[in-house]
């Protein structure tokens, strides 16, 4: 007897979002897993119709379905609406940002055999958005670090490491300067680490971490970071394997999860069948993992690797001439 379909909230997003979302849906459907897709608009595309970048019905949908697949959304720089990504994470308490970074065949890079995971706390730090003008010309931003958030992200990193046979967690910090805030983060990490004798634990200052990553990313396994450091380091790590167009992302909480491509909305190529959909397709594979569909998830990853290895159906950013639909069909055919 077949199980009922999974109901998933779809947030296509802006720019190339609808195109890469259609690609991800095509590949996920090709796995044979039954889905019901509940489409919701967020980002710049939602403002005209709803007057807000994150309508309440989007949050209600994700709360109801407990899982969502999201495309890129636009965020104005220095003005305009708040980041939809940040607001989703805070409103839904999606406290863990998970970014696996793995080398893929056929993708040009200076690095080989990269296989690391970035675990980023998602709900506080400077992303709490607590800013004010002290006096004209002086702005203060408050960095919020709590024992609760630090402890649960540390436990997430160690639980993930244990479940995926990862050997070492490195907590990344700047406690030599921010002795109270980053010091609290480290205290929480150390307490959690003592509960996981089977997983090694170490600490590294964030600037040194960046240098060591560039010198040899192969020495790292699982990186555990506060929100701001995690945002920066996760994008740095994506550069080791071809960029944000090749790396999946997940935002996971106690009662729900949103899986997303973390690259930009690329409005300059929107609607031109040029976008690389691999990041969102691989995010869909992470979603399958989350749903317990491990076999289907691995089939998606194998299909992506096979197309990249063959090298005949690649988008322009990968050195080929294929469009979004062509590479999508090639991947779907191999699932």
Kindly list the catalytic residues. 127, 174, 207, 231, 235
Per-residue tokens: 13: 């997003």
Report the distance separating Cα 333 and Cα 314, nearest Å: 15
Q: Which segments within 34-173 are labelled E, that is strand?
A: 35-39, 67-70, 96-102, 115-121, 131-135, 138-141, 168-173
Is 92:59 a contact under the CB 8 Å cutoff?
Answer: yes
Report the distance separating Cα 120 and Cα 98, nearest Å: 7
Among residues 135, 120, 202, 119, the alpha carbon closest in space to that of 167 is found at: 202
Question: Exposed/middle/buried for 227, CB within 10 Å: 0-12, 13-18, 19+?
Answer: buried
Q: What is the dihedral of CA 297, 256, 36, 335, to 10 degrees?
A: -10
96 forms beta bridges with: 121, 252
């Amino acid at each position: 007897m077949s199980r009922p379909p999974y109901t998933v909230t779809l947030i296509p997003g802006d720019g190339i979002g609808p195109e890469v979302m259609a690609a991800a849906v095509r590949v996920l459907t090709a796995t044979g897993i039954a889905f019901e897709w509940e489409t919701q608009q967020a980002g710049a595309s939602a403002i005209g119709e709803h007057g807000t970048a994150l309508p309440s019905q989007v949050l209600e949908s994700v709360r109801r379905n407990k899982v969502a697949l999201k495309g890129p959304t636009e965020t104005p720089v220095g003005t305009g609406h708040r980041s939809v990504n940040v607001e989703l994470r805070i409103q839904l308490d999606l406290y863990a940002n998970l970014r696996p970074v793995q080398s893929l065949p056929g993708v040009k890079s200076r690095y080989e055999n990269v296989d690391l995971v970035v675990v980023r706390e998602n709900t506080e730090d400077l992303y709490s958005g607590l800013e004010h003008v002290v006096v004209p010309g002086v702005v203060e931003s408050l960095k919020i670090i709590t024992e609760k958030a630090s402890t649960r992200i540390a436990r997430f990193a160690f639980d993930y490491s244990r479940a995926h046979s990862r050997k070492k967690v490195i907590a990344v910090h700047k406690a030599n300067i921010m002795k109270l805030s980053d010091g609290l983060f480290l205290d929480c990490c150390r307490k959690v680490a003592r509960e996981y004798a089977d997983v090694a634990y170490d600490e590294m200052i964030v600037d040194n971490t960046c240098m060591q990553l560039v010198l040899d990313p192969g020495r790292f396994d699982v990186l555990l970071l506060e929100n701001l450091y995690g945002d920066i380091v996760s994008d740095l790590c994506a550069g080791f394997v071809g960029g944000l167009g090749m790396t999946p992302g997940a935002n996971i909480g106690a009662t729900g999860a949103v899986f997303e491509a973390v690259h930009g909305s690329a409005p300059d190529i929107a609607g031109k069948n040029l976008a690389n959909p691999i990041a969102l397709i691989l995010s869909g594979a992470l979603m399958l993992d989350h749903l317990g569909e491990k076999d289907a998830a691995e089939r998606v990853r194998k299909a992506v690797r096979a197309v990249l290895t063959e090298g005949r159906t690649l988008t322009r950013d990968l050195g080929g001439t294929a469009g979004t639909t062509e590479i999508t069909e090639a991947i779907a055919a191999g699932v």
